[in-house]
Amino acid sequence: MTDTQVAELCRLTVRAPARTVDLAVPADVPVADLLPAVLGYAGDDLEEAGLDHGGWVLQRLGGEPLDEERTLDAYGMRDGETLFLRPRTEALPEVHLDDLVDGIATTMRQHPYGWSPKAGRRLLLGIVVAVLGGGLLLAALPGGSALPRAVFASVAGLLLLAGAGAASRAVGDAGAGAVLGFMVAPYLALAGWLLPGGELSGRHAYEALGARLLSASAAATGGAVLTLAVVAAFAALFLGLAVIAVFGAVAAALMLAADLPPA
């Protein structure tokens, strides 16, 4: 025995140029299949008359003409709705909103390149990166005592580490956590660069450079590994930072081990 599923009926009122027709049709019927039946009931010679103006269309009051490929069910047609049969070249105009604010909001939602929550989030993350980068650059500028700048960079790095973990785990926003976490290693690297002290000129410049580079690379490696642990996402990004920092530490160790005489 074969099971047969019968589509639900949709009762419509179609207002044609000469008469009004009440129809009950299956909801899964495409508009293209419904049009010939409507034309047959709506008046004599309507099919031939349609040749003069590009055919006929069905539309709701205030809406655009119905797509002939879609079904009534796809349009959410309900029993008792009224459709208008119009020449294609004389279709009813779409409704225009009197509420200016509502009209602007509706237009912006329909615009394919309009503002969206995703665009706002990306802009906010970009601003955060720019501010953090500016703070890092200011702290790295020469001049003044190195200790306050090292303390600032250390505290900022730890706060960023905590913020990255909170964003990724507590809020569930791994992207924001990765953005904050990406800045942890540079801030800790700056702190590691400043803490050893020593002049980068003179007889012991080579040793000072090696010590600073080793301290900065070690701090950056630790920051990258800790960030990966708290964010638990974007592993390739943080592992890449850690690998770069390890190479820096190896280079610094070789510089110190070589113990080259001063120039």
Give the model confidence (pLDDT) of 94-145 as tens digits.
766 556 666 667 666 666 555 677 878 888 999 999 999 999 999 988 877 8
pLDDT of residue 75: 84
Residues 6+ apart with CB under 8 A from 35: 56, 58, 68
pLDDT of residue 263: 42
Residue 58 Cα distances to 40, 68, 86, 136, 234, angstroms: 14, 9, 6, 63, 52
3-state helix, strand, coil in the chain (%, to 5): 60, 10, 30
- Domains of the chain by range and CATH? 9-90 (3.10.20.90), 117-258 (no CATH)
Structure tokens belonging to residue 244: 């770069």
Contact 71, 28 (CB under 8 A): yes
pLDDT of residue 4: 46
pLDDT of residue 7: 60
Bridge partners (DSSP) of residue 13 are 22, 82
pLDDT of residue 252: 86
Distance, in Å, from the CA atom of 245 to the CA atom of 216, rounded to the nearest integer, reads 8
- SS3 of residue 22 by DSSP: strand
Which of 217, 149, 215, 160 has the alpha carbon at shortest distance from 184? 160
Structure tokens belonging to residue 71: 């079904």
Pairing between β-strand 56-59 and β-strand 20-26 as defined by DSSP bridges:
unpaired
Q: How far is CA 125 from the centre of its chain?
A: 11
Distance, in Å, from the CA atom of 182 to the CA atom of 166, rounded to the nearest integer, reads 14
pLDDT of residue 1: 41
Distance, in Å, from the CA atom of 214 to the CA atom of 207, rounded to the nearest integer, reads 11
pLDDT of residue 215: 92
133: left (phi over 0), alpha (psi -120 to 50) or beta: alpha
Residues of the chain with pLDDT under 70: 1-7, 48, 50-53, 95-104, 106-115, 198, 200, 202, 204, 259-263
Distance, in Å, from the CA atom of 187 to the CA atom of 132, rounded to the nearest integer, reads 9
What counts of helices (H) and strands (E) characterise the chain?
Answer: 9, 4
pLDDT of residue 134: 94
